[in-house]
Amino acid sequence: MDLADSFAQTEFGVSWFKTLGGVNGAKQLMSTASATYFEKIWNDASRPDLIPRPGDIIIWGGSAINEWGHVAVVKTATRDGVTVIQHDGFAPPLVWVPNPNGQGGGYYSSKPAHLATLGYYGEGTGMVSGWLRPKWAKVVYTGADQRGYGPAPTKPTTPAAKPVAASLWMPGAVRSPQPGKVAVNTKLPRRVTWHITSDVDPGKQQPLFSGVATYLKNQGYCPHLTWDPVIGHIEQYYPADVGARALRMWNEDGARNIQIEILFSRGAYREGRQYGELTDTPLKGLAQIL
């Protein structure tokens, strides 16, 4: 937080409290930041062209192991992640920091401000909520470069992919290509198979997405998509024109044979809440898949 506050104060020449506002945790900045000084750009998984720019303040929304999220200043960004200047995070050495409400806390880096490359989703940060773009008319710092500011682009900043290629990978999903693709039987009808991971018995804690994904990769059992219906995180392992490897048999049956694995176990707990059925979850990301 101190780095973001200092950055804003240097950019605008006024107190950080006037531009970013006082918060209990980084994840609240998207709500408290002043629209007079920042353009608020909310993350939208359906728009792969929506990429932060250098000088944006990027905000993660928190996770089960870090409810307050994370904030950093963007140095460079691509569709796959960002290189940022950050002040805390999880780089060693770590120190215990109590929560502002006095209940619990967490270990955070005591390393001085440093560069780090982060994904748009992480176990310690959660999903990116969005980013704050300083309004050039308010910037007083003489070392700022105007090219990094201004309104969000209305068109993709990179050349659009060819329609056929674009349809093979889901926009907004994290790509994690895997070996072992299966040649499909194009003489058979297209099909989609939905199934849940069913990792634990009712009453137990649902394993983290990263742990389940790592297991599937190590075992060579990856579907096309793995989807977390609670936070909306989606990873894709194979393009749509090949078969995946999550089924015991018939992975090759169909001109398209899309396999979608849902991170869900009946009756398991997620962040303190028990979900009896899949329909009890927020089903975040379902609209993008459909």
pLDDT-based confidence at residue 163 (cuts at 50, 70, 90): very low
φ, ψ of residue 270 in degrees (nearest 5): -130, 120
- Burial group, residue 42, by CB count within 10 angstroms (0-12, 13-18, 19+): exposed
Residues, the chain = 290
Q: How far apart are CA 174 and CA 288, in angstroms?
A: 13
φ, ψ of residue 219 in degrees (nearest 5): -85, -10
Q: How far apart are CA 198 and CA 234, in angstroms?
A: 17
Mean pLDDT throughout 80-104? 75
> Please, which residues bridge with residue 39 across strands?
133
pLDDT value at residue 262: 94
128, 60 Cβ separation under 8 angstroms: yes
**CA diameter of the chain:** 66
pLDDT value at residue 106: 67
Q: How far apart are CA 101 and CA 56, in angstroms?
A: 28
Name all domains of the chain by residue range, CATH numbers in brackets.
2-148 (3.90.1720.10), 163-289 (3.40.80)
> Please, which residues bridge with residue 196 across strands?
262
Q: State pLDDT tens for residues 29-72.
A: 998 999 999 999 998 867 777 899 999 999 998 888 788 889 99
pLDDT-based confidence at residue 267 (cuts at 50, 70, 90): very high
* Residue 178 CB coordination number (10 Å): 16
Residues 6+ apart with CB under 8 A from 185: 252, 253, 254, 255
Q: State pLDDT tens for residues 194-231.
A: 999 998 999 999 999 988 989 989 888 899 999 999 98
Bridge-based pairing state of the strands 225-227 and 126-134: unpaired
Whether the pLDDT of residue 264 is over 90: the answer is yes
Q: How far apart are CA 209 and CA 214, in angstroms?
A: 9
Q: What is the pTM of this model?
A: 0.50
Q: With H, G, I as helix, E, B as strand and everything else as coil, classify residue 286.
A: helix
- Burial group, residue 15, by CB count within 10 angstroms (0-12, 13-18, 19+): exposed
Q: Is 190 left (phi over 0), alpha (psi -120 to 50) or beta?
A: beta
How distant is the alpha carbon of residue 159 from its chain centre?
Answer: 23
Whether omega before 93 lies within 30 degrees of 0, making that bond cis, reads: yes
φ, ψ of residue 217 in degrees (nearest 5): -65, -45
